[in-house]
Amino acid sequence: MYILRTVIAAVICLAAAIFDYKTTKIPNKFIFPVIILSFIFSLICYPLINTGFSVLFVVLLFFFGMTGWMGLGDIKLLMALSLIGTWKMGLFTFALSSIYLMIFGFLVSPYETGFYAKKMLNRFKLKKEPLYKKSTKYKFAPFIMLGALSYSIIFDPAGPIHFEVFGGFL
């Protein structure tokens, strides 16, 4: 099960990263069938409570996307991953990919990344502050792929290096 889930997630993320890199968009023709198949996979392979938490996480991701912090294609990709590997995979993938992107951004252009992060945090607090118009937009799907693979290797209970977070609570 672990290997199947990891391979499926890796293939989906790789295809999305290629789309994102070439066109800066993840097409709906690709991601919607993936979300539907991920939901069916979740219903078949996991207990109903896990699927319920995954759907709740998907809804929270959608509302998070309304802040404009990242593109809707990236959110849909995270939705598919959270349905394939339960809500834990979605949460850890999102956290790890955000950390990887911030590290990359600070290495490439530290001032601009810090300025943009401050603006986005204010926007996330629902302050109507305009964004810096000439900010660099990074493609997030490759970082989502890196975060998903990191989760599968480090945090997944069936992974080769299992690391329990919060004493196994997560």
Q: Please indicate, yes or no, if residue 170 is contained in any of the structural domains.
A: no
Which domain does 152 fall in, by range?
2-160
Which pLDDT tens digit goes with each residue over 105-121? 888 887 777 777 776 67
Helix (H) or strand (E) holding 43: helix 28-45
Query: Quick one: tokens of 97?
Result: 């990919």
Q: Please indicate, yes or no, if residue 108 is contained in any of the structural domains.
A: yes
Number of domains the chain contains: 1
d(CA 80, CA 42): 10
Q: Please indicate, yes or no, if residue 116 is contained in any of the structural domains.
A: yes
Q: Please indicate, yes or no, if residue 167 is contained in any of the structural domains.
A: no
Q: Please indicate, yes or no, if residue 166 is contained in any of the structural domains.
A: no
Q: Please indicate, yes or no, if residue 118 is contained in any of the structural domains.
A: yes
3-state secondary structure of 23: helix
Is pTM beyond 0.75? Reply is yes
Q: Rounded to whole angstroms, what are the CA distances from 158 to 46, 48, 140, 148?
A: 14, 20, 26, 14
Which pLDDT tens digit goes with each residue over 1-58? 778 888 888 899 999 999 988 998 899 999 999 999 999 998 898 888 888 888 898 8
Q: Please indicate, yes or no, if residue 169 is contained in any of the structural domains.
A: no
Spatial CB neighbours of 102, under 8 Å, sequence gap ≥ 6? 113, 117
